[in-house]
Chain A
Amino acid sequence: MTTGQIGQAGTAPPPPAEKAARRSDSGDFIGSNPLTPYVFMAPYLVLFVIFVLAPVVYGFWISLHNYDYLLPGKPWVGLQNYVDLFTPGSTTSGPFWNSMEATGIFTLLSVPLLVVIPLLLALILNQGFRGRTFFRAAYFAPYVLGVAVVGVLWRFLLDPNVGAVNFYLGQLGLRDDIPWTTAKPWVWAALVGPTLWWTLGFNTVIYLAGLQDIPRDLYDAAAVDGANRWQRFLNVTLPGLRPVLLFVVVVTVLLSANVFGQPLLITQGAPGEETTSAIMYIAETGLRQFTMGSAAAMSYVLALFLMLVSIANFAFFRQREE
């Protein structure tokens, strides 16, 4: 499973430290209360079990029932909710796969931009500019705003009739009545553009940290060997960035696939339900219409998709490594 794999990747550094810890720890603990560690763990563990571990199992249990929050009976239906999702023509399968498609399109459009542009920006900023910290902060700033602010602000900026974007397009002599928030293909730009503005700085900061971890002597050695700029990028920078690149790709894919606030506030799902994302549809089905069994099943199908995509990313990067 992905989780195990990623977990290992996440804990890669500890082993030596762990060993050292055990040795001197056994010394520390002579005569100390064996319950002490559990007292330290307890508050976190209690919340973790109630709000993370139990829900993972409980959610699956719900998905096996015709679980309507508002009705007294919640009959067991086995895998029927899942079967329905994969049966064309059932009440849930159409809108669900529509929302999955919208999520897929958004992810495919936004991820390449969010992986490449921040890398270029980080490479430029990493050249020892005076004021680099300032620029980094400027590009990062929108990221601290909530998606609700981003959503209502861009809904205004992209308003077809009064928005600033269309106004400036008109000033440039271009079309000034583009229906950004209501018609395809413009709606995709209305979702991807603000997302870029909002999260670009996040990836840039991660790349910058990764670039600074590449040992300087590798560049010196490459320079001595007569490598030009491009060769140094291919042979030193890219291999050195591989773990960071993997992290950025995986996290960006997951965040894009979880898109919710942008379609909720900018396009409001328009036109029709074409930009209703999977998360939006699942949340509306489960927590507004309260058909929770079906919504829980959808959430597991989506989760499975996301895990498969993450595994594919890991496999791809591992293969490149060999």
Chain B
Amino acid sequence: MAQATAPVDVKPAGSSPRQRVKLILSYLALILLTLVFAAPLLWMLSTSFKTNPEAIRWPLTWIPREFTLQGYSEIFNTTSQTPVLRWLINSLISAFAHTALVLATAAPAAYALARMHFRGKRIMFAIIISTLFIPHIILIIPNYLIVDMFGWLDTLLAVIVPSVPTALYLFLLRQFFVSLPRELEEAALLDGANRYQIFLRIILPLSKAPLATVAVLSFLQNWNDLLWPVYVLFSPQNLTLQPGLGRLQGAYETEYPIIMAGGVLASIPVLIVFIFAQRYIIEGISRSGVKG
């Protein structure tokens, strides 16, 4: 992983004047690019504290002249057609429940595929992995009818459950379990522990990092999904944040402080997750690319 390995260029940088100039220029370019990347987010934050006229006034102001919480008070009004606070709670429930289900189903299955011997294992694994490459779009129409059959339309269950069996998470966990040394399990078996005890007391505690990676990736995935919730959730009270932002844009059109306040609210949880779990996110993505 990135932090673990030594950088390729081990020469001490900036050893000659020419190299030093080059290094400074590279830094300037990187910092400039960082500003370009950060600016839209800062603009969203700044706009969310502006009054309507100031938000659309040229020349632009980066720091609100007239600081107001109007945008936020509008979206915190839970009786409106756009109860953003309610959507935030729905999104949190959905993402946490989804993540819990992913871990509870993918971890034992991945362990069985990594360590147990049973009829049909190879074919099961092959079929599951092959679905990694089935375009998601062919699932949405039949899944709409399946979810409808269960009576889940316009409920959070519709956005929590169907995306749980994701092949990527199973694959990442299986690869990790395969790499664990077997001696620990063998010793436990000799001590008379059964498979369930071994899994719960030995394997899971050793697997905190990959479990965290899967948890964070599935949380983000669920939090950010747009296509599916746009169509399976309808009532204002039942929306999550992503389809809700579309409604907010439709309802307020050019009242940008309100729309941007909604955007800020939808971004804060994932940015917090990113700051604290960066390592797991980046590791998960690197791994799916390099080893997948």
The residues of A with any CB-CB pair to B shorter than 8 Å are 2-4, 6-7, 10-11, 13-14, 17-18, 21-22, 24-26, 28-29, 32, 34, 36-41, 43-45, 47-48, 50-56, 58-59, 62, 69, 121, 124-129, 132-133, 135-142, 144-149, 151-157, 159, 161-162, 164, 167, 170, 197, 202, 205-206, 208-214, 216, 219, 243-244, 247-248, 251, 254, 258, 260-261, 264-265, 278-279, 282-283, 286-288, 292, 295-296, 299-300, 302-303, 306-307, 310
B104 at the interface (CB under 8 A from A): yes
B89 at the interface (CB under 8 A from A): no
Partner of B246, one of A251, A254, A264: A264
Contact B118–A13 (Cβ < 8 Å): no
B278 at the interface (CB under 8 A from A): yes
Interface CB pairs A-B, < 8 A, 27: A22-B117, A28-B189, A39-B108, A43-B109, A59-B139, A126-B7, A126-B9, A127-B13, A127-B26, A128-B7, A133-B2, A135-B34, A136-B282, A137-B278, A139-B34, A140-B281, A147-B224, A147-B226, A152-B248, A152-B259, A153-B41, A156-B256, A157-B40, A205-B285, A209-B2, A265-B246, A299-B135
Interface of A, helix, strand, loop or mixed by DSSP: helix
Contact A44–B135 (Cβ < 8 Å): no
B70 at the interface (CB under 8 A from A): no
B79 at the interface (CB under 8 A from A): no
* Known A44-B105, A162-B58: A142·B146 in contact at CB below 8 Å: no
Q: In chain A, what residue has the closest Cβ to B8? A: A126
Contact B108–A7 (Cβ < 8 Å): no
* Known A32-B194, A133-B2, A152-B259: A206·B285 in contact at CB below 8 Å: yes
Contact B142–A59 (Cβ < 8 Å): yes
Q: In chain B, what residue has the closest Cβ to A28? A: B189
Contact A197–B37 (Cβ < 8 Å): yes
* Known A28-B189, A51-B161, A126-B8: A7·B129 in contact at CB below 8 Å: yes
A131 to chain B, nearest CB (A): 8
Residues of A contacting B287 in the complex (Cβ-Cβ under 8 angstroms): 209
Contact B37–A283 (Cβ < 8 Å): no
Contact B136–A258 (Cβ < 8 Å): yes
Contact A141–B7 (Cβ < 8 Å): no
Contact A283–B231 (Cβ < 8 Å): yes
Question: In this complex, which of A26, A38, A287, A302 has the most chain B Cβ atoms within 10 angstroms of its Cβ?
Answer: A287
B18 at the interface (CB under 8 A from A): no
Residues of B contacting A157 in the complex (Cβ-Cβ under 8 angstroms): 40, 43
Contact A148–B141 (Cβ < 8 Å): no
Contact A296–B141 (Cβ < 8 Å): yes
Given the complex of chains A and B, what is the CA–CA distance between A69 and B56 in angstroms? 43
Contact B144–A287 (Cβ < 8 Å): yes
Contact A3–B8 (Cβ < 8 Å): no
* Known A124-B26, A129-B30: A149·B105 in contact at CB below 8 Å: no
Contact A4–B130 (Cβ < 8 Å): yes
Residues of B contacting A58 in the complex (Cβ-Cβ under 8 angstroms): 142, 145-146
Given the complex of chains A and B, what is the CA–CA distance between A189 and B92 in angstroms? 33
Given the complex of chains A and B, what is the CA–CA distance between A43 and B186 in angstroms? 26
B148 to chain A, nearest CB (A): 8
Partner of B108, one of A41, A140, A282: A41
A44 to chain B, nearest CB (A): 4
Contact B242–A146 (Cβ < 8 Å): yes
* Known A43-B108, A264-B246: A145·B270 in contact at CB below 8 Å: yes
Partner of B249, one of A26, A155, A279: A155
Contact B226–A209 (Cβ < 8 Å): no
Contact B286–A206 (Cβ < 8 Å): yes
Residues of A contacting B9 in the complex (Cβ-Cβ under 8 angstroms): 126-128
Contact B142–A152 (Cβ < 8 Å): no
* Known A52-B131, A146-B224, A212-B2: A282·B137 in contact at CB below 8 Å: yes
Given the complex of chains A and B, what is the CA–CA distance between A107 and B220 in angstroms? 24
Residues of A contacting B286 in the complex (Cβ-Cβ under 8 angstroms): 205-206, 208-209
Residues of B contacting A38 in the complex (Cβ-Cβ under 8 angstroms): 118
Across chains A and B, which 5 residue pairs bring their CB atoms closest together, nearest first?
A128-B7, A146-B224, A209-B286, A206-B289, A44-B109
Given the complex of chains A and B, what is the CA–CA distance between A125 and B165 in angstroms? 35
Residues of B contacting A132 in the complex (Cβ-Cβ under 8 angstroms): 7
* Known A21-B114, A128-B10, A212-B8: A144·B273 in contact at CB below 8 Å: yes
Partner of A139, one of B37, B113, B132, B249: B37
Contact A299–B141 (Cβ < 8 Å): yes
B50 to chain A, nearest CB (A): 12
Contact A139–B146 (Cβ < 8 Å): no
Given the complex of chains A and B, what is the CA–CA distance between A179 and B226 in angstroms? 26
Contact A279–B138 (Cβ < 8 Å): no
Given the complex of chains A and B, what is the CA–CA distance between A24 and B185 in angstroms? 11
Residues of A contacting B199 in the complex (Cβ-Cβ under 8 angstroms): 40
Tell me the B248-292 residues at the A interface (CB within 8 Å). Answer: 248-249, 254, 256, 259-260, 262-263, 266-267, 270-271, 273-274, 278, 281-282, 285-287, 289-292
* Known A138-B38, A139-B34, A206-B290: A211·B8 in contact at CB below 8 Å: yes
Partner of A43, one of B1, B104, B243: B104
Tell me the B151-195 residues at the A interface (CB within 8 Å). Answer: 161-165, 170-171, 175, 178-179, 182, 185-186, 189, 194-195
